[in-house]
Amino acid sequence: MTVTSTVLIRTREARRQQRSGLPKWVLIGAEILVPILLLAAWWLASANSTNTFFPPLQTILERLVSLAATPAFWGDLGSSVGNLLISFVLACVIGVGLGIALGMSRWLSWLVEPTIHFFRAIPPVALVPIFVSLIGFGNETRILAITLSAVFPVLISTIDGIHAADPDRRAVGRIYRLGGWDRIFSVALPEASPRILSGMQVSLITAFVVMIASEMLGSSIGLGARTLLAQQSFMIADMWVGILVLGIIGYVATALLATFRRRVLRWYIAIRQQEKNL
Amino acid sequence: MTATVAAGAVPRLSVQGLAKTYDTKKGAVPVIADLTFDVYAAEIVCIVGPSGIGKTTLLKCLTGLQSITSGSARIDGKQIDGPPEEMALVFQEYTRSLMPWLTVEKNVRLPLKHLRLPAAEREDRIRAALAAVGLSGAESKYPWQLSGGMQQRVAIARAIAYRPEVLIMDEPFASVDAQTRFELEDLCLKIRDEFGMTIVVVTHDIDEAVYLSDRVVVLGERPARVTEIIDVGFGRVRDQIATRATQEFAELRTAVFELIRRAG
């Protein structure tokens, strides 16, 4: 018995080149250079600005450095990032768990799905005032509001992903009489994972928006509250610092999730790449 | 009509008057009218027929994925009313039946996990199955890193490691190139001998059916019936060149072809 052929796996470098026609270092260079150029443009354009609402970038960065020396700033940052992290993880756990249950059981999804779609239709930010009036201004309110709004994208994409499972692969599970655990964690969940990860990316953005909104509505802690307060008290540089830091948090969170996705979906990304190369 | 078999032998797989009718909104659609055939231990039986004759439906009934409308399908005398533990299935589409997120070794291991085998036996089975299909050394690769033929070998290894009494194959070599196809046909003969497995292959390839089979079950008419069961007397040892060059091969091939053309 001889093994006749192996598909040649192109190196990552070759694939990247084929995709764009440009060598890798040019792309990475561009990825780093473009934000630097934008910052430089901002720096130059704002350098001599006398507009109160558009202070020079230099002033903003100086303010950032001095604020970074105060424990209050780190408290706000910690509160925001903490809430975002806890709520996002909670949303993912609840969304995927509930999604599996609803995706695997026809009658359960038939029972609950209309309700889910009703609640999903309400803009997440609109829920914040309801929670504030129901349970007050506490941190639990914020976590609850963020979690609840972030749970829907990941929940719905999990249900979709489970429903979209390949009939052949489902038949494999039945033929080989796999146990419930393997049917979920070795077959259904991995197969749904590309969709689940897309749902998580939407959930993260939703969580981020509601995190800021929840701090801006009736709260005095967190970067959102700090930014709004700065704006209301005409501390414009402080407001810009808040926006800048929020932007960085959003960027880092998205990048971390993207890295996680690449790791988990290695098989999926590789297959897609092969299909493109054919 | 019926093949000659050793008197008194109990068939491993016995299909008696099997019929399948689908209930649709437009009424009942009969797909299989009446199928009767037996498969004995360590035999290879191919089921051929014109396309659209209901081979896939038959397969779903045999594997217990679908219920039978009337008649019976038995494995070792037991009525099949759900996927039986003595049975494994190799699908046509290996890309859709393997788990691309699992390595070759883990794909083969997956069905063994719930069998509660002693660890040593489990590892032994995995090693033996991968060796039998010529994939030793590819354990840590992923299916999508392999060629089509090798992916189908993984699917076959998964079935072998499960040690079914009856291995059912649904157009198993339809999605690989001709050269690989011959290799996989011989692999099929080899695992029958090595593991004493009973194999049922559903195929539309007449040459393949004649080359592989101890008996060929030809289906015809719509809804499907058994048109004829043809004995193939090449014995256990076959050769892709020599066997296919014999007069007998040509005659059998012609006979099956004519039956199918008449049925189609």
In this prediction the ipTM stands at 0.89
In this structure, how many other beta carbons lie within 10 angstroms of the beta carbon of residue A275?
9
Report, as an integer, the average pLDDT of B43-61.
Answer: 90
Q: Which pLDDT does position B54 carry in this prediction?
A: 87
At B111-145, the pLDDT tens digits run 999 898 999 999 999 999 999 999 999 999 999 99
Specify the residue for token string 């038949």: A171
B145 and A7: CB-CB below 8 Å? Answer: yes
A residues 183-222 lying closer than 8 A (beta carbon) to B: 186-187, 190-191, 193
CB of B142 within 8 Å of a chain A CB? The answer is: yes
At B72-94, the pLDDT tens digits run 999 999 999 999 999 999 998 99
Chain B residues close to A1, C-beta within 8 Å? 133-134, 183, 186-187, 190
Chain B residues close to A4, C-beta within 8 Å? 147, 149, 179-180, 183
Residue A17 has pLDDT above 60, yes or no: no
- Pairing verdict, β B13-24 and B70-75: antiparallel
Please state the pTM of the whole predicted model. Answer: 0.85
Q: Which pLDDT does position B2 carry in this prediction?
A: 44
Q: Which pLDDT does position B105 carry in this prediction?
A: 96
Residue among B91, B97, B146 whose CB faces A7 most closely: B146
Q: Which pLDDT does position A173 carry in this prediction?
A: 93
* Chain mean pLDDT for chain A: 87
Ordered DSSP codes for chain A: -----------HHHHHHHHHSS-HHHHHHHHHHHHHHHHHHHHHHHTT---TTS--HHHHHHHHHHHHTSHHHHHHHHHHHHHHHHHHHHHHHHHHHHHHHHHH-HHHHHHHHHHHHHHHTS-HHHHHHHHHHHHTTSHHHHHHHHHHHHHHHHHHHHHHHHHT--HHHHHHHHHTT--HHHIIIIIIHHHHHHHHHHHHHHHHHHHHHHHHHHHHTT-SSSHHHHHHHHHHTT-HHHHHHHHHHHHHHHHHHHHHHHHHHHHHTHHHHHHHHHHHH-
* Band of residue B102 on the pLDDT scale cut at 50, 70, 90: very high
Amino acid letter for position B264: G
Q: Which pLDDT does position B168 carry in this prediction?
A: 95
Dihedral angle sign, alpha carbons of residues A13, A16, A19, A25: negative
CA-to-CA distance for A135 and A110, rounded, in angstroms?
A: 31
Residue among A3, A5, A166 whose CB faces B96 most closely: A166
Helix (H, G, I), strand (E, B) or coil at B165: coil
Question: CB within 8 A of A193, min separation 6: which ones?
Answer: A161, A264, A265, A268, B101
* Band of residue A5 on the pLDDT scale cut at 50, 70, 90: very low
Residue among B87, B134, B145 whose CB faces A9 most closely: B145
CB of A1 within 8 Å of a chain B CB? The answer is: yes
What's the token pair of residue A69?
């020396």
At B135-192, the pLDDT tens digits run 999 999 999 999 999 999 999 999 999 999 999 999 999 888 888 999 999 999 999 9
A1 and B65: CB-CB below 8 Å? Answer: no
CA-based angle B224:B227:B228, to the nearest 5?
A: 140
At A169-209, the pLDDT tens digits run 999 999 999 999 999 999 999 999 999 999 999 999 999 99
CB of B135 within 8 Å of a chain A CB? The answer is: yes
* Chain mean pLDDT for chain B: 91
* Band of residue A6 on the pLDDT scale cut at 50, 70, 90: very low
Chain B residues close to A6, C-beta within 8 Å? 145-147, 150
* Band of residue B3 on the pLDDT scale cut at 50, 70, 90: very low
* Band of residue A8 on the pLDDT scale cut at 50, 70, 90: very low
At B192-223, the pLDDT tens digits run 999 999 999 999 899 999 999 999 999 988 88
Q: Which of A6, A7, A172 to mutate to test the interface with B (most CBs of B within 10 A)?
A: A172
In this structure, how many other beta carbons lie within 10 angstroms of the beta carbon of residue B240?
13
Residue A19 has pLDDT above 80, yes or no: no
Q: Which pLDDT does position A30 carry in this prediction?
A: 87
Q: Which pLDDT does position B124 carry in this prediction?
A: 95
Amino acid letter for position B124: D
Chain B residues close to A179, C-beta within 8 Å? 113-114
CA-to-CA distance for B153 and A2, rounded, in angstroms?
A: 12
Q: Which of B93, B114, B146 to mutate to test the interface with A (most CBs of A within 10 A)?
A: B114
Segment among A79-83, A196-200, A213-217, B223-227 with least mean pLDDT? A213-217
Residue B61 has pLDDT above 70, yes or no: yes
Q: Do the beta carbons of residue B214 and residue B43 sit within 8 Å? A: yes
Chain B residues close to A196, C-beta within 8 Å? none
A4 and B183: CB-CB below 8 Å? Answer: yes
